C-alpha cells in the first residue's frame, strides 16, 4: 500500500467510480505472462488516459523483470483522480476480494516523466507476486514489495542503480527513526493503522528481503535467489484466494528453493524490538554512504551479487 507524507487511509482518499465508469470498456495492456485491464474514471481526459496507459505499461513491464513474466494472468486496474495528496500517485492499494484489483488514485495533470519515475504502481504490482499474508506480518509482504519497487525499476531502466540505493538508504533511515523498543515488530504491525509505525514495518521488511536475497545468491553461487523462489511460488501457488501466515509462506519458499534461508531469517523478526542491522550487508555489496556521498565499490566482496540483483 502506498503512503504519502502522512498516513492516508483508503476511505480518506476514496473516489467513487460512477455507473458510467463501471460501464466503460477496460483497455487491455498485454504483458509477458499477463494482462492489465485498465479502467480510467471518465473525468480524466483522453490525453491524460493515453499517458496513464503508457505509465502502467512501463510499470507492468518493470515487474516482469523479477522473473520474466507478470505475476498473474489477469488483473483489473482502476484509476481515478485523488481528492488530495502530493505527487503523481498519492495512493495505491491491492484489493483481493473476488477478482484481484489494483486501485490507483492519481493527480492526472502530472507529466508522464513523473508518473514513470513514481514507484507506486510498481509497488502494488509487486504485491501480486505474493499471496495475501496476514496483516500481523505486514512487514514481510510490504518489505518484499518495497524491495522490488527499487530493484525492478533499475532493471527496467526507469531509475539508475544509484537512485535506487539512495532511495533505499533514505528509507532505512526513516525506518530506524520510527522504531521504538516499547513494541515488538509484530505488535507494531497490529497497531500501525491506529498508532503509526509504518516506516518501521516497511523498512524492517526490506532488510529481510535484501539480506535473504544476498544470502541465497551467495550460498548457491547465484543459482538461487528471491526472484527464483517467487517464480517457483507463481508456478505452484498463484493465483490463490487463501490467506497465508508468514510462517506458511516462508516455509513454502524454503521448500521451493531447497534451502532454509527464508525460515532462518524470519525467526528473529516478529519479536524484535530493534531495527534490523543492514550495514554489514550493504558494505559487503559495495554500497558505502559517508558524509552525504554514495560510493558503489565494485571491489567489495559481494559486488558481483549487487550486480546480479540490479542487472540479472
pLDDT tens digits, 228-277: 999 999 999 999 999 999 999 999 999 999 999 999 999 999 999 999 99
**Could you read off the pLDDT of 28-52 as tens digits, one per residue?**
999 999 999 999 999 999 999 999 9
Question: How is residue 137 annotated by DSSP?
Answer: G
Residue 23 in this model has a pLDDT that exceeds 60: no
pLDDT of 2? 55
pLDDT of 98? 79
Three-class DSSP category at 219: helix
Question: Of 66, 204, 211, whose CA–CA distance to 140 is shortest?
Answer: 204
Q: What is the mean pLDDT of residues 117-139?
A: 98
> Residue 99 — very low, low, confident or very high, per pLDDT cuts 50/70/90?
confident
> Residue 81 — very low, low, confident or very high, per pLDDT cuts 50/70/90?
very high
Distance from C-alpha of 148 to C-alpha of 168, rounded to nearest angstrom:
11
Fold of 10-128: Zincin-like (3.30.2010)
Residue 127 in this model has a pLDDT that exceeds 70: yes
Distance from C-alpha of 123 to C-alpha of 211, rounded to nearest angstrom:
19
pLDDT of 5? 32
Question: Of 190, 193, 99, 210, whose CA–CA distance to 147 is shortest?
Answer: 210
Residue 186 in this model has a pLDDT that exceeds 60: yes
CATH 3.30.2010 maps onto the chain at 10-128
> Residue 97 — very low, low, confident or very high, per pLDDT cuts 50/70/90?
confident
Question: 38 has which bridge partners?
Answer: 27, 77
Question: How is residue 175 annotated by DSSP?
Answer: H
**Could you read off the pLDDT of 209-223 as tens digits, one per residue?**
999 999 999 999 999
The pairing of strands 74-81 and 34-40 is: parallel
Strands (E), the chain: 27-31, 34-40, 74-81, 91-95, 101-106, 132-133, 243-244, 287-290, 293-296
Distance from C-alpha of 196 to C-alpha of 183, rounded to nearest angstrom:
12
Distance from C-alpha of 100 to C-alpha of 36, rounded to nearest angstrom:
11
- In this structure, the number of other CB atoms found within 10 A of the CB of residue 279 comes to 11
By the 8 A CB rule, do 40 and 15 touch? no
The pairing of strands 74-81 and 101-106 is: parallel
Residue 128 in this model has a pLDDT that exceeds 90: yes
* Average pLDDT over all residues of the chain: 93
pLDDT of 7? 36
| CA distances from residue 26 to 130, 152, 239 in whole angstroms, order as listed | 25, 26, 21
| Angle at alpha carbon of residue 103, lines to 131 and 210, rounded to 5° | 45
pLDDT of 1? 59
Amino acid at each position: 500500500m502506498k503512503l504519502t507524507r502522512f498516513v492516508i487511509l483508503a476511505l480518506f482518499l476514496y473516489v467513487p467510480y460512477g455507473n458510467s465508469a463501471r460501464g466503460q470498456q477496460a483497455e487491455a495492456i498485454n504483458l509477458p505472462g499477463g494482462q492489465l485491464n485498465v479502467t480510467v474514471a471518465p473525468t480524466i481526459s483522453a490525453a491524460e488516459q493515453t499517458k496513464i496507459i503508457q505509465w502502467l505499461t512501463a510499470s507492468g513491464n518493470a515487474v516482469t523483470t523479477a522473473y520474466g513474466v507478470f505475476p498473474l494472468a489477469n488483473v483489473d486496474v482502476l484509476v481515478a483522480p485523488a481528492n488530495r495528496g502530493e505527487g503523481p500517485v498519492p495512493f495505491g492499494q491491492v484489493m483481493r476480494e473476488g477478482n484481484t484489483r489494483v486501485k490507483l488514485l492519481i493527480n492526472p495533470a502530472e507529466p508522464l516523466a513523473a508518473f514513470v519515475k513514481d514507484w507506486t504502481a510498481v509497488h502494488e504490482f509487486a504485491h501480486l507476486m505474493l499471496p495475501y499474508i496476514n496483516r500481523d506480518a505486514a512487514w514481510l509482504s510490504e518489505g518484499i514489495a518495497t524491495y522490488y519497487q527499487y530493484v525492478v525499476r533499475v532493471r527496467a531502466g526507469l531509475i539508475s542503480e544509484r537512485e535506487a540505493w539512495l532511495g533505499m538508504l533514505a528509507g532505512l533511515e526513516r525506518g530506524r527513526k520510527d522504531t521504538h523498543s516499547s513494541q515488538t515488530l509484530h505488535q507494531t504491525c497490529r497497531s500501525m493503522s491506529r498508532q503509526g509505525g509504518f516506516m518501521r514495518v516497511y523498512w524492517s521488511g526490506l532488510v529481510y528481503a535484501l539480506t535473504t536475497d544476498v544470502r541465497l545468491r551467495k550460498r548457491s553461487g547465484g543459482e538461487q535467489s528471491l526472484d527464483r523462489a517467487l517464480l517457483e511460488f507463481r508456478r505452484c501457488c498463484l493465483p490463490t484466494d487463501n490467506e497465508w501466515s508468514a510462517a506458511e509462506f516462508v516455509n513454502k519458499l524454503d521448500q521451493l528453493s531447497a534451502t532454509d534461508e527464508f525460515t532462518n531469517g524470519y525467526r528473529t523478526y516478529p519479536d524484535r524490538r530493534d531495527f534490523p542491522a543492514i550495514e554489514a550487508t550493504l558494505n559487503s555489496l559495495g554500497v558505502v554512504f559517508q558524509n552525504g556521498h554514495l560510493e558503489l565499490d565494485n571491489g567489495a566482496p559481494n559486488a558481483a551479487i549487487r550486480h546480479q540483483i540490479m542487472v540479472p
